[in-house]
Amino acid sequence: MTVRTLILLRHAKAADPDDYATDLERPLTARGHRDAAAAGAWLREAGLQPDAALCSTSVRTRETLDELALQDVPVIYEHRIYVGPAMDTLELVQQSDASVQTLLLVGHNPTISDLSDSLAPRALDRGLATSGIAIHRFEGTWKDLEAAPLTAQHTARG
């Protein structure tokens, strides 16, 4: 059986919603850029190099992904990650290519925290903060993913 790793990352700190016409347009703050870069550094130090990434279509998730400074990672931008809910997002993960062993998912709360909790109930102390990372590992195929222990968590601050 193949061991697979799912990296769940909540986007970094975003600008105030009152300053933008739509929520999708909200960019990262200066702190958000620093925190997202710190998340990328933590992933590299932990030896977690994704083979592929799924990312919400919002500006703040795209900027978070860019700040991770990952090398040669194919990305699928999917609006369904923005709208949730967790079970719909899980279906996207389950559609991942069989060749992918480590998958990064960059999204929003409550969806990201709810997905982590559905894979490993009560494993997170509380929901993921901005730039929060939850690492889940399991043996099997993406299409059969229903549960995966939480093996690490981190909140990146730059």
Per-residue pLDDT reduced to its tens digit, 115-156: 999 999 988 878 999 999 999 999 999 999 999 999 999 999
The bridge status of strand 132-139 relative to strand 150-155 is: antiparallel
> What are the tens digits of pLDDT across the range 83-126?
999 999 999 999 999 999 999 999 999 999 999 999 999 888 78
Q: What pTM, to 2 d.p., does this model score?
A: 0.97
Give how many domains the chain has, as a whole number.
1
Asked if pLDDT for residue 22 goes beyond 90, the answer is yes
Q: Where are the alpha helices (DSSP H) in 46-137?
A: 59-67, 79-83, 86-94, 111-119
Q: Quick one: CA dihedral 58, 61, 65, 68, positive or negative? A: positive
Q: Which CATH number does the domain housing residue 143 bear? A: 3.40.50.1240
Q: Which residue range is the domain that position 32 belongs to?
A: 3-155
